[in-house]
Structure 1
């Protein structure tokens, strides 16, 4: 399998899970070995967190096997909108950056840097 990128993961998630919003971040500094994602899909409706993650892991089986670390936050459109996510411009998969909650001026609290 070719190198995994933010764009290739975003495309696979959108197509395979019918996601209406996908935000993928390469946490490995660009080497494509650790990713985190926010996935908003109607397919998560009426599923508990474990079943949502199993659905994602099954849909991305080949991609996940090719990387070192994977973390996903799975929400329904209603959950995403309740958290204020529904105000992102249409097609704005990357319009919203990662949450800065728990940080001070871009640094995680309790660390030096």
Structure 2
């Protein structure tokens, strides 16, 4: 698995989101996702939204994914 594939899948599942994915070993990744769709959602709900874009890859090809899910306002404050 590579970062560009994960980035593409998240962006496709959350249209309009700004997505950055890092990870050097092919199984452990970090994602920063900024989306209007997160407004009014608790952190757990935001993470579930991101994980849902990856489906069965989670726990398989993607062993671990650390997620920072922010609204545009939060991202603008430097979170």
**TM-score bin, normalised by smaller chain:** 0.7 to 0.9
Structure that is richer in helix per residue: 2
Corresponding residue to 2:44 among 37, 45, 50: 50
Q: d(CA) in 1 for partners of 2:78 and 2:27?
A: 29
Give the TM-score taking structure 1 as reference length: 0.63
Give the TM-score taking structure 2 as reference length: 0.86
Moved over 3 A (4+): none
Pick the structure with greater CA Rg.
1
Q: Which residue number corresponds to residue 23 of structure 1?
A: 20
Q: 1:19 offset after TM fit, Å?
A: 4.2
Q: Which residue number corresponds to residue 9 of structure 1?
A: 6
> RMSD in angstroms over aligned alpha carbons?
1.5
5+ long unaligned stretches in structure 2: none
Aligned residues: 78
